[in-house]
Structure 1
């Protein structure tokens, strides 16, 4: 329930006696929340496709934003603004990330991300590949397991997720999602590569991770998986 509350706007029963450590423990269920989100998105897209693939894409993209509350898009915009303004100054990078105002780099990142998802979902809807929408959000949230092992850039959510790790959870989810992808959408087996590439970039470019970086990674991996699935259908 805590994982659903943190990652979505879906209604759930209230978690009583909340402690910060509980949020760290809830991270093991992030891929499950991704599967729940994917199920809703695939259903929305399928319903819209009965009229037109573009309607399916519009409804799914808007649903994606509403269900998640724009949480990860906010992180993407913050990181884009920080990278655009920091000029390799670590202190400036963190200061811009914490700034609640939206800059031009963040606006451009949001426009590009939403446009990319809109077009890619339309192409998937036209091809009837609903299962990609089901599994891509789960794989993207699986990436948190790898990214949270980097040093935190500052006290915050990324640091909190590292308080309590479940060593078997990443492997269990990898096997589950890998088996489903091999059966239903082999193109999504590239997900661990995308997760690793983003982790390598974080380590090299930023030297650590923050909550905004986690959200950015989820958005990037989702889009890369949609793109990979679209390309694989065209080959």
Structure 2
């Protein structure tokens, strides 16, 4: 694999920031330095973006701990969590729910639904339930001694799995934000990152809890991947966003059991 210059990694990092968050990236970057190589390298930095999101969320909790009760803090964390991503992943989840429920296994219809900006009742219901679960989980986790760890860990793990998903699955559109990505060469990096997450989880809690949680998360990941492989033969950006939201929710629930 050809060597990658430092400035290309920097461009990949900026690309990940610009694509996954509302944090400011110079507008000129996407017209000057945004190419296929940058798109591919960006996937390496998705987990870093997740850690940055987690660090910002923890900062909000730390600064507001003496000002607001836990319920208000949980609401602030959830609000900022959604705001920092520009609602991108929630939108992906909503589109995925609509495509799954109304697509009827018709690939062209499913892809059309993915591009439809409107959300149906199933999607709205799904989003409400996901946000409700996140809110109650955050409220519970705020009372635990491991909150610093979990609030950074959750968005990071979700984006590692999302990166691995993109590296190991075909993109179905000829045009789109992921159309130029070929990150097959990075699969080993993401597997190493997942192994490190497992080790850190074991250190903070227990091997058994980490193992059971890893099994559940793996089952959810492979089920999600298989659904879209069967229906559209790969993934779209909405599939990635939906996966991130689902992994975050499942991880929240797993960590609540040992808060």
Structure 1 length normalisation: TM-score?
0.88
CA distance in 1, matches of 2:159, 2:143: 26
- Displacement after TM superposition at 1:150 (Å): 2.0
1:137 matched to 2:150: no
User: Number of paired residues?
Assistant: 233
Q: Normalising to structure 2: TM-score of the pair?
A: 0.80
Superimposed CA distance per residue, residues 118-173 of structure 1 (whole angstroms, 9 cap, x where no aligned partner): 11101111224311111011110011233222232323234433366424321332
Partner residue in 1 for 2:198: 178
Is residue 71 of structure 1 aligned with residue 88 of structure 2?
yes
Is contact 2:39-2:178 (8 Å) kept? no
Structure 2: which 5+ runs fail to align?
1-13
The answer to whether structure 1 residue 99 and structure 2 residue 120 are counterparts is no
Residue 257 of structure 2 aligns to a residue whose secondary structure is: helix
List aligned pairs for 1:79-90, cutoff 5 A. 79-90=96-107
Structure 1 residue runs of 5 or longer lacking an equivalent are none
Counterpart-to-counterpart distance in 1, 2:142 and 2:38: 38
The separation in 2 between residues aligned to 1:197 and 1:95, in whole angstroms, is 22
Q: Tell me the residue number matched to 2:6.
A: none
Structure 1 segment 83-232 matched on structure 2, within 5 A: 83-130=100-147, 131-148=149-166, 149-155=168-174, 156-162=176-182, 165-186=185-206, 187=209, 190-191=213-214, 193=218, 194-232=220-258
Q: Which residue of 2 aligns with 1:32?
A: 48
Contact 2:46/2:163 (CA < 8 Å) preserved in 1?
Answer: no
Q: Deviations over 1:3-32 (max 9, x none)?
A: 111111112456343213311211011111
Most deviating of 71-80 and 148-157: 148-157
Which structure is larger by alpha-carbon Rg, 1 or 2? 2
Q: CA deviation at 1:232?
A: 3.1
